[in-house]
Amino acid sequence: MTDTMIGVIGGSGVYEMGGLEDATWVAVETPWGTPSDQVLTGALGGVRMAFLPRHGRGHVHSPTTVPYRANIDALKRLGVTDVISVSACGSFREDMAPGDFVIVDQFIDRTIAREKSFFGTGCVAHVSVAHPVCPRLGAACLEAARAEGITVHDGGTYLAMEGPQFSSMAESKLYREVWGCDVIGMTNMPEAKLAREAELCYASVAMITDYDSWHPDHGAVEISDIIRTLTGNSDKARALVKRLPGLLGADRAPCPHGCDRALEFAVMTAPDKRDPVLVGKLDAVAGRVLRD
């Protein structure tokens, strides 16, 4: 058994998390640069918590400039075991309406301008992201959402686009009609991949703010309506998160799906060929296997 520590990465509209005991903003230095912001640490219901605003307080970072590697490293370095991503998204489905939540279980990564791995020349590793989210953690988010009376969908494919512009109508129709995606956003990749490399359980709670440009009534949607939905979603997200300590508990058994052992056979580079500089940078995310 280890101690549970829940890390929450808050997306657009979720820049703070109230109710934590002994809440303190702490600066975390990482070999991958400075995280998006300081990390708010504390406890809730006897379970340690850490909150990181993905875009920084005041929304400083665009989806492309979010320091994804630094963010995941910082959470791992603080002792986080389970990461909950909370992010705004658009919907490709009539029945997935603004204000609904989706517990994402698959991704299509269309981002092109981001560092997507902690590993590289001098220390090569390949992890599986066939199932990119943790079913145990996703189930807890689903239960918490239902307990809060949130309209929530169990499972969905998230199309991760580069942004910061929204998709064209042709792209939107491609993603919806040909590729069969359910929601679209700009931030869950490479975040989910990096969490897997860091052996962290990861779950994605996608909060729908609007229909994407495929929808015939999309042009009639006012930005004020989107902001209003975003604000309401943020309140619901915080309520959902507050239920997670009671569902996950303070004592944590090994992940039944192996998320916390994702690097077990992933590192390919022979020990005597590994770049010591890169290995040094990997101390938090991969030290468990590189020290063996």
Which pLDDT value is given to residue 17?
82
Which pLDDT value is given to residue 291?
84
pTM of whole model > 0.85? yes
The catalytically annotated residue of 37, 73, 109, 212 is 212
Which pLDDT value is given to residue 97?
95
How is residue 171 written in tokens? 């792209």
How is residue 102 written in tokens? 């989706």
Residue ranges making up the domain that contains 117:
2-290
For 216-248, write each residue's pLDDT tens digit.
876 655 567 777 888 888 899 999 999 999 999
At 202, the amino acid letter reads Y
On the CB side of 189, CA atoms within 13 Å amount to 21
- Contact by Cβ (8 Å): 133, 204: yes
The catalytically annotated residue of 82, 210, 225, 251 is 210
CATH number for 82: 3.40.50.1580
Which pLDDT value is given to residue 219?
61
For 41-93, write each residue's pLDDT tens digit.
999 999 999 999 999 999 999 999 999 999 999 999 999 999 999 999 999 99
Q: How many domains does the chain have?
A: 1
- Active site (annotated) includes residue 251: no
Low-confidence ranges of the chain (pLDDT < 50): none
- Active site (annotated) includes residue 272: no
Which pLDDT value is given to residue 149?
97
Q: Please tell me the distance from the alpha carbon of residue 54 to that of residue 40, in angstroms, as a whole number.
A: 12
Which pLDDT value is given to residue 222?
59
Which pLDDT value is given to residue 13?
73
